[in-house]
Amino acid sequence: MAANEEEVRGRVRTAAHPPIQTEEELVLVKRYVLLGIVMRILDHDIRVIGTSAIKLPRFYESMLRGLQDRVLLELAAIRRQFREMGIKVYEEKRETDGLHTEYVCRGYHHRFFMLWGFVKAESERVLKQYLSS
């Protein structure tokens, strides 16, 4: 078998020189993971506002639900791109120091790690983007 040919062993593909993942693909996967975190943040904040004693809870809840709708639309668009590009996120592990993500891109397995400080800062940046647009 030639060094450049792919071998299929079970469901995991290996090659002497696997194709390099593009920057666009990595950015898309990170955005997808961050948007999932943003959705959890918004869910939490909506629950907190519902039980708090602020003056306009319905107003703030509707604002957060509007943000949620926009995040869901972007998540759906990213999943559609995932299907076209052959990407599938199959594991997200929350650990004390950060978030591990594993995914398949064009048949090859990849992973990355984000510290919680980075996740928090990026989540805030994403929410600010939604609020400013």
Q: What is the pLDDT of residues 48-87, one digit of tens each?
A: 998 888 899 899 999 999 999 999 999 999 999 999 999 9
pLDDT at 19: 66
pLDDT at 107: 87
CA distance readout (Å), 119 to 38, 45, 86, 114: 10, 17, 25, 6
Residue range 117-124: mean pLDDT, rounded: 96
Q: What is the pLDDT of residues 5-63, one digit of tens each?
A: 444 444 555 555 556 788 999 999 999 999 999 999 999 999 999 888 889 989 999 99
- What dihedral angle (degrees, nearest 10) is formed by the CA atoms of 90, 95, 99, 105? -30
Where exactly are the structural domains of the chain? Answer: 22-132
